[in-house]
Structure 1
Amino acid sequence: MAHTFQVTVDCSDPHPLADWWAQALGWQREPSDEAFIERMVAAGHARASDTLRHRGELVWADGAALVHPDGGMPRLLFQRVPEPKTGKNRVHLDVRVGAEAVEAEVARLVAAGARELHRASQGPHSWVTLADPEGNELCIS
């Protein structure tokens, strides 16, 4: 049986974090359907306080999504949650850039706000574990 899925990341501020990940992955923010949002507010199905303007675009305040430029990968959704991150992620993304590009990619992401957590290897494979600006882990290999 075939299934589709998205990966959801809990966070405190979804729009800036989605921007960070879009830059990190080279993905695109999913366009907002401003007319739909306006209709939902006008009909009383949502409140104006459920929305905000991010980079000039009317968006839902509690979520932001990214899509792969080719549309062939799972969608990434960043959703606001009230509690801060308190422990290690049980699920994280492994971003494969190739052994020759790891150091440059780690440097680029750290310059953009990531934090290096540790380096590890197993057999011929090695990776660098980073934390995004809100502390969510990702591995670069």
Structure 2
Amino acid sequence: MTSRFTELVVDCHDPERLAAFWCAVLDFKVIDRSEGKVEIGSWEPAVEEVRARQMPPTLMFIQVPEGKTVKNRLHLDVSPIDGSTEDEVARLLRLGAAKVDVGQGADRNWVVMADPEGNEFDVVRTLAPPRTVHLIN
């Protein structure tokens, strides 16, 4: 007997707003929504696929009345795939993220950010292929 990691749930005030933000960050789409709940993912889960192998989890945003009060004990790390970490941080700032200080110090190779409701996440190393410089003789 075993289980699968199928969803990561985020409590929030505005599920639609956070789902839209994270869809833009991760290039996900909304796969389910109901009163006070929005689920997003890179794929639409089917029981047969989930039973066959571990698939990427979806993100589910559920409306709750209380606000965030302390640093998250769990957070997401995101890796840019087609640009530098600095370029991705700039893009995420335009989408509504903010840089935050959770005591990480300055000598780190990642950037701590927060989504529009203050949930921390890290932008880590880029996965983009190195750019080739062509010299002309």
Q: TM-score, normalised by structure 1?
A: 0.70
Q: Give how far 1:120 is off.
A: 5.1
Q: Partners of 1:106 and 1:140 in 2: how far apart?
A: 7
1:21 aligns with 2:22: yes
TM-score w.r.t. length of structure 2: 0.72
Aligned pairs for 1:42-53 within 5 A: none
1:82 matched to 2:83? The reply is: no
Runs ≥4 residues deviating over 2 A: 69-72, 118-122
The structure where strand makes up a greater share of residues is 1
Identity over aligned pairs, percent: 39
The alignment yields a C-alpha RMSD, in angstroms, of 2.4
State how far apart, in whole Å, the 2-side matches of 1:13 and 1:83 are.
12
1:140 deviates by 0.3
Partner residue, 2:12: 11
Give the distance between the partners of 1:140 and 1:25, measured in 2 at CA.
12
**SS, match of residue 8 in structure 1:** strand
The structural deviation recorded for 1:130 is 0.3
Gap regions ≥5 residues in structure 2: 46-54, 125-137
Structure 1: unaligned runs, 5 residues or longer: 33-58
Q: How many residues align?
A: 112
